Amino acid sequence: MRDNKTSQPAQEYDAKVEKTLPLYRLFHEHTLDLIKVAKPTPAVWLDTGCGSGNLVGKAVKDFAKTHFILADPSEAMLSVAREKFENDKDVDLEFIQSGTERLDCAKESIDVITAIMSHHYFDIEMRKKATENCYRMLKEGGVYVTFESIRPQSEKGLQIGLERWAQAQLRQGKTLQEVEKHISRYGVEFFPISIDSHLQLLKDLGFSTVEVFWASVMQAGVYAIK
Ligand SMILES: C[S@@+](CC[C@H](N)C(=O)[O-])C[C@H]1O[C@@H](n2cnc3c(N)ncnc32)[C@H](O)[C@@H]1O
């Protein structure tokens, strides 16, 4: 049985994630870069769908006074994340086992919420519920950041995008069989929406500033300010 919703067991996630997401490192770099400008001194930062804790692992260096909440529905992922911080006694951390849709942090208690590659498992209704929950938990002026695999505008664009993603995975050392297995999950196990749909959802929920701040072949980063 799988211990989380990604292609690999939690214990292998760090070693293998860049085979599936060749630009993975950039998602974190750009998120940190954005938060340094948009919300430089957050008191509380929730990383939902934190996985093995890589984003917070990098963030603690620049945000030493921030209280970080790491949430994920997978106990196996949280356990890898916990191990990562075992020797960081000075870091202010809290772990919660939950999906974003069920997170129960107090209303308007959080300055930054990041959801990096963790909301594309939702169907439309659940995505709305989860994103609405993020809006509820954010303080006024708080920043929501998400990176996700996206859906191109046209069928042709989708075909070309998936082929380019497959080629990139092969260059990262995956076998053809592994690549085909992963690409076949698109629209079946994870449900990307277009960049336009992302922006519309965030505007509909009431966010004031809604922007794309990074995009590549099949992934994009979007932020929104409450
Ligand atoms: C591709 S990993 C990304 C992990 C991490 N954010 C990172 O940047 O490495 C996807 C994560 O989303 C989590 N996930 C699955 N369902 C979720 C849900 N309903 N809400 C939040 N996260 C979820 C998975 O357990 C997994 O840890």
Residue 7 pLDDT exceeds 90: no
Give residue 69 CA to ligand 1 midpoint distance, Å. 14
Give the whole-angstrom CA distance, residue 81 versus residue 54.
8
Alpha-helical (H) ranges within 63-194 are: 75-84, 124-137, 155-171, 176-183
pLDDT grade, residue 90 (50/70/90)? Answer: confident
- For residue 185, how many other CB atoms are within 10 A of its CB? 14
User: What pairs with residue 46 in β-bridges?
Assistant: 69, 113
Q: What dotted CATH number matches 10-153+190-225?
A: 3.40.50.150
pLDDT for residue 89:
82
Give residue 176 CA to ligand 1 midpoint distance, Å. 25
Q: Which of 72, 92, 90 is nearest to 80 (CA)?
A: 72
Q: Which residues contact 108 (CB under 8 A, 6 or more apart)?
A: 136, 137, 138, 139, 140, 142
Is the minimum distance from the CB of 72 to ligand 1 under 6 angstroms?
yes
pLDDT per position as a tens digit, 94-145: 999 999 999 999 999 999 999 999 999 999 999 999 999 999 999 999 999 9
Give the whole-angstrom CA distance, residue 213 versus residue 175.
32
pLDDT for residue 155:
97
Strands (E), 8-166: 44-48, 67-72, 93-97, 110-116, 138-149
pLDDT grade, residue 1 (50/70/90)? Answer: low
Is the minimum distance from the CB of 57 to ligand 1 under 6 angstroms?
no
How confident is the model over 170-180, as a mean pLDDT?
A: 97
pLDDT for residue 5:
76
Q: Which two tokens stand for residue 205?
A: 């929920």
Residue 188 pLDDT exceeds 90: yes
- As a whole number, the mean pLDDT across the chain is 96
Q: Which of 50, 138, 130, 141 is nearest to 94 (CA)?
A: 50
Q: Whose CA is nearest to atom 4 of ligand 1?
A: 51
Q: With pLDDT > 90 as the criterion, what percentage of the chain qualifies? A: 93
Residue 31 pLDDT exceeds 80: yes
Give residue 128 CA to ligand 1 midpoint distance, Å. 16
Q: Scan for tokens 């929501």, then name that residue.
A: 144
User: What pairs with residue 220 in β-bridges?
Assistant: 148, 215
Give the whole-angstrom CA distance, residue 147 versus residue 203.
17
What does DSSP assign to residue 66? Answer: P
Torsion over CA: 11, 16, 21, 22 (sign): positive
Give residue 188 CA to ligand 1 midpoint distance, Å. 17
Q: Whose CA is nearest to atom 22 of ligand 1?
A: 49
pTM of the entire structure? 0.97
pLDDT per position as a tens digit, 50-71: 999 999 999 999 999 999 999 9
pLDDT per position as a tens digit, 198-216: 999 999 999 999 999 999 9
pLDDT for residue 143:
98
